[in-house]
Structure 1
Amino acid sequence: MKSASQSLTGESAVLTEVQLSHPSLRWVDRYSRLLDTRFRIPGTKVRFGLDFLLGLVPGAGDAISMGLSGILIATMAKNGASPRLVLRMLTNVGLDALVGTIPILGNLFDLFYKANHRNLLLLREYYVEDKHRRSIWPILMAIVITLIILLGLMVMIFVWCINAIMSLFQASGQE
């Protein structure tokens, strides 16, 4: 089994061969790597994906990225992830989404945190431990509620940042 640092390189599948034999888990593996580790900055070992690129679009990019992460978590929950595992995954995505709303710092955080890939590693470890069988309905409701709350928080932070920037421009224009 790969170490967490080796797995964050995104160069190969993260899930085990048995897990990859299930079509929706194979899709989750590929999609997670596309979002977080598909591309490499030339001359470095730093990898990034569509999540980082979407984060460059103020406000809307982070919301879209959070929605895509939610789809991944819902798919993992549908395939047996336990409520505790889903909560850990939601925490990763929530942290990524909240920090991602902060201009520049959020983009740098996205470049290195890779919430979707971390969630994929959690899923692999959980399947290996065989503690993944639970009902999905409470999890799906928790995902929807959490995503709505996070989206609201992201909008509030984005509006606050825009107001702060506008205040700076107004203050500099009065001088």
Structure 2
Amino acid sequence: MSNSPHKIAIEADGYAATLKRLRQISGLLDNAITIPGTKVGIGLDPILGLIPVGGDVLVLIFSFYIIIESARLGVSRATLSRMVVNIIIDALVGAIPMLGDLFDFAWRANSYNITLLEDYLKLPGEKKKADQGFIIALFAGLFLLAIVLVTLPVILIAMLWKTLTGG
């Protein structure tokens, strides 16, 4: 870790251990394995996304955790909202069979969210935290997204089965 003034300020605020843990989770999801002979990495997100229904939901749970910790660190409404948009894009496009799996290789929502968190924590001056009601509404929305991610593939599989079997 370099000794840049921003990193030192973040460590002095007591965020270092949490940031380290969140970076590890993000790296695991978005960039765990480097493809030999390239600088391109893949994480568990696209791999777990290959598991119908449950894979995308599992990745979403880890992404929730990054947002929960960011809220606990006092991130603003605006930053939390941007983080959620990244996750929504990842979850909804990622749920599309085949296209979503390819998309997961390129879209690194968790890495983007860690960057947003770090940028927010580097800002000088007093920071305005998101209020409790906003955070609760945010998680209610993310919970509904998880339900959609489970329900949508089940409906699509049932429709496909019905079409194939003529029933």
Shorter-chain TM-score bucket reads 0.7 to 0.9
4+ residue segments displaced more than 6 Å: none
Alpha-carbon spacing, 1:132–1:25, altered in 2? closer, same or farther (3 Å): farther
- Given the alignment, which residue of 66, 70, 81 partners 1:72? 66
Rounded to whole Å, the distance in 1 between the matches of 2:110 and 2:128 is: 21
Could you tell me which runs of 5 or more consecutive residues in structure 1 were left unpaired when the two chains were aligned.
1-14
Aligned to 2:154: 159
Stretches of structure 2 that go unaligned for 5 or more consecutive residues are: 1-5
The one-letter amino acid paired with 1:110 is: D
Aligned twin of 1:114: 108
1:86 corresponds to which residue? Answer: 80
Where does residue 19 of structure 1 map in the other structure?
10
Deviations, residues 121-168 of structure 1 (Å, cap 9, x unaligned): 111222223474414523431332022110122123212321343144
Letter in 2 for 1:68: F
How far apart are the structure 2 equivalents of 1:101 and 1:82?
A: 28
CA distance in structure 2 between the partners assigned to 1:24 and 1:138 by the alignment: 23
Counterpart of 1:52 in structure 2 is 46
The residue type equivalent to 1:33 in the other structure is G
User: Could you say what secondary structure the match of 1:16 adopts?
Assistant: helix
Instruction: State the distance in 2 between where 1:84 and 1:42 align.
Output: 38
Q: Distance in 2 between matches of 1:133 and 1:25?
A: 19
1:62 maps to which residue?
A: 56
Contact 2:25 2:62 in 1 (8 A): no
The 8 Å contact of residues 77 and 136 in structure 1, kept in 2 or not, is answered as no
Q: Secondary structure at the match of 2:119?
A: helix
| 1:96 aligned partner | 90
Task: Name the residue aligned to 2:3.
Answer: none
* CA 1:51–1:139: 2 relative to 1, 3 Å: farther
**Any conservation in 2 of the 1:48–1:111 contact (CA below 8 Å)?**
yes
- The two structures have a TM-score, normalised by structure 1, of 0.79
Partner of 1:145: 140
DSSP-derived class of the 2:71 partner:
helix
Q: Distance in 2 between matches of 1:164 and 1:18?
A: 54
* Percent of matched pairs sharing the same residue: 33
CA contact (8 A) 2:10 2:122 kept: no
1:166 is paired with a residue whose SS is helix
Q: CA 1:108 to 1:68, structure 2 compared with 1: closer, same or farther past 3 Å?
A: same
CA distance in 2, matches of 1:17, 1:110: 33
Distance (Å, rounded) in 1 between the aligned partners of 2:53 and 2:147: 11
Distance 1:108 1:64 in 2: 18
Matched residues in 2 for 1:71 and 1:59: separation? 19
